Amino acid sequence: MTAREELSQEWRERLEDFAQSEMTVQAWCDFNRVSLHQYYYWRRRLKASETNHATNGSWMSVSVVDTPPIPTTPNRVTLRIAGAEIEVTPDFDPRLLRAVVQALAVEPC
């Protein structure tokens, strides 16, 4: 792993630590002796990196499994993505579904 990759990984872990800390950004930065500038720089940089990776035209592998038809209830759709099964009903929240699908599209670290 290169020094740049190690630093990126270190900041991924730091941002995860912040997310679980329930602290304000300022309090977390003070506690960890990190400047606000560094925090926001790395948050923006890693988010851009993840966005570019998810939208760079890369393909996800898909397995087609021959299974018996699943009985469906009217007005429901079942999605199978990356090993997860999601049932969508007429009252679904499109923003939540979009966030879940994007999360599933990101390769684990």
pLDDT per position as a tens digit, 18-68: 999 989 999 999 999 999 999 999 999 998 887 766 555 566 677 777 777
User: Mean pLDDT throughout 9-13?
Assistant: 93
- CA 77/CA 89 separation, integer angstroms: 7
* Residue 93 sits in the same domain as residue 108: yes
* Residue 38 sits in the same domain as residue 78: no
What is the CB neighbour count within 10 angstroms for residue 84?
Answer: 11
Residue 65 belongs to domain spanning: 59-109
* Residue 51 sits in the same domain as residue 64: no
Q: Strands of the chain (E only): list them.
A: 77-81, 84-88
* Residue 49 sits in the same domain as residue 73: no
Sign of CA dihedral 32, 17, 25, 43: positive
Provide the pLDDT for residue 59. 64
The domain boundary, picked from 55, 79, 94, lies at 55
* Residue 79 sits in the same domain as residue 103: yes
- DSSP SS3 for 65: coil
Number of domains in the chain: 2
* Residue 43 sits in the same domain as residue 80: no
Provide the pLDDT for residue 1. 82
